[in-house]
Structure 1
């Protein structure tokens, strides 16, 4: 019986600590039309301490959504436009010689913020990518010989253009794997487009967003998310989904073996568990269901499955492969 009481107490705790989620949605509604999927996943990244990669053509309000989110959670925001001539020092900072005092002083770069928007990340060369990688992975930056920790919460939200576009580089697999989620942002519906046009086709005053929460509340919410109950059956379901990307023949999907070069890494199962718990928290729930896992599975897996040439030749995307796995692996 004590387990029931614990779940009830946990449920009340979650209800209390997740109240700010609805405030964020209603505040963002003032500025952003539709795009609920993108906002949901950005919040999951924020709550589960995972970076997010957004892919879509220019003009889909990706930058507006990220900067608006930073405003409503009252955190420091920096936007870095990635270009082919960007240098690591432009990102992390550099040493500057002060003639008056005859010594070097550190000038910190834009990476020193809570939410960093790396805009068009795949337009910059490998050196810049690796500087960003250290910040994402280690939550710290090294300038000369000094290491500086980054302030929590620290979240990289990167946008990339579809690779077919001119002047883009493919991101290295190791870096892509550092992103908890990869979102495919699509065009708005007709009714949303109409609303966007009506709202935005006015010069001058745009609605002012006000902060509805703060960094401290987000960090407390992360602690509560760690307490969310995940049944062993759900944990095994997550592991089955990941293993199905590596050994599809074990799950009666031998035809997938020819389509997958590399399956998902162990980082995928960690991220899937975290993201599913964050999703349960956003639904004000004290436990994870298989549905929480299924909702975020595409976003956790699409960038971690490397299709073979055969799959590409047959126009089979990683999303198609994930969909096949979701419909074949038994749900508890």
Structure 2
């Protein structure tokens, strides 16, 4: 087990090093993306234009020696454009299924909120089920399978907001943010020869990645740490400023990503600090506030920060 988590930490270091030239000074964002990947979850990147959302997704896909695809979501995109369609083959006298771009190990769903709700539902159904059903026949997507979706929160004209039930299918939501001054200088100094994220050399193949995802699932979560997660989740449901608290799926996602976060640190056990680091990325997009709280300028992040202050963590290295 120790050798396996060491391999995961080394993989995380190599991928962070490979992606650094593309996404300068954002190692914490890369680590969150890797935690989503190793926990078998999907990632939603929500940020302003020009911050590197698409570059992150493309770089992540390039680092895996598997299949990758990009779907540019637009209002006229149809569900069949994503999942694929059955086409009549005159030579055989039967319908033949032609796979859509969703049949890839890493799928970049660019500006997912620009597609119609029907198309969004088709995409998110594949994320949940891991397969596409055409003419009553299930067609499994490749393994591993990860969707990296992006959306721009400031341009809402002509967009369709993702419903809360669909947001719940993303393991993590994060933002990249603008680089600091030193990182901006590094970017400007290398601007004459920009790096194409898709040209990065693969760091891991799919077979090895599947093995490491299996290792992450065995990382130890002490009963006290699980109780800590349950108390945080319960607190979101009891808050007077929250209309809809965190679901059981959200609690499971927090535990699974905490396992991956610990493994990326080279540990085979989860600590309360792992949970704290992931509470906002994993849970914030799963909370629906009361209208009065939104009018007062309260955010999901503020609520979670308050709840963590009022929910004491267990003591000890692994929560014991």
Report the TM-score range of the alignment, normalised by the length of the smaller protein: over 0.9
Specify every segment of 5 or more residues in structure 1 that has no aligned partner in the other structure, as ranges.
Answer: 1-9, 249-256
1:325 to 284, 307, 310: 307
Please tell me whether residue 270 in structure 1 is matched to residue 252 in structure 2: yes
CA contact (8 A) 1:51 1:155 kept: yes
> In the alignment, does 2:217 pair up with 1:226?
yes
Specify the SS of the correspondent of 2:171: strand
Q: Shift of the alpha carbon at 1:283?
A: 0.3
Partner of 1:137: 128
- Is residue 237–residue 245 contact of structure 2 (8 Å, CA) maintained in 1? yes
What TM-score, normalized by structure 1, do the two folds share? 0.90
Q: 1:314 aligns with which of 296, 299, 315?
A: 296
Moved more, 231-240 or 13-22: 13-22
Deviations 1:136-161 (A, max 9, x none): 11100012222101111101111011
Unaligned runs of at least 5 residues, structure 2: 315-320
CA contact (8 A) 1:163 1:169 kept: no
Match for residue 77 of structure 2? 86
Q: 1:127 to 1:269 in 2, by over 3 A?
A: same
- Per the alignment, residue 28 of structure 2 pairs with 37
Runs of 4+ in 1 over 4 A off after TM superposition: 203-208
Change (3 A) 1:215 1:277: same
User: Which residue of 148, 151, 169 maps to 1:157?
Assistant: 148
Matched residues, number: 314
Deviates more, 1:279-288 or 1:101-110: 101-110
CA offset at residue 163 of structure 1? 5.5
1:236/1:205 Cα in 2 relative to 1: closer, same or farther (>3 Å)? Answer: closer
Which residues in structure 2 correspond to 1:67-216 (within 5 Å)? 67-162=58-153, 164-202=155-193, 208-216=199-207
Taking the aligned partners of 1:139 and 1:205, their CA distance within structure 2 comes to 29
- Higher-Rg member (1/2): 1
The secondary structure found in structure 2 opposite 1:96 is: strand
Report the equivalent of 1:280: 262
Counterpart residue number, 1:25: 16
CA–CA distance in 1 between the matches of 2:152 and 2:254?
25
Question: Hey, what's the Cα distance between the residues in 2 that align with 1:184 and 1:65?
Answer: 11
SS of 2:24's partner is coil
Q: CA RMSD in A?
A: 1.8
Shift in alpha-carbon separation, 1:244–1:204, aligned structure 2, 3 A: closer
Distance 1:153 1:16 in 2: 18
How far residue 60 of structure 1 moved from its aligned partner, in angstroms, is: 1.2
Which deviates more, 43-52 or 188-197?
Answer: 188-197
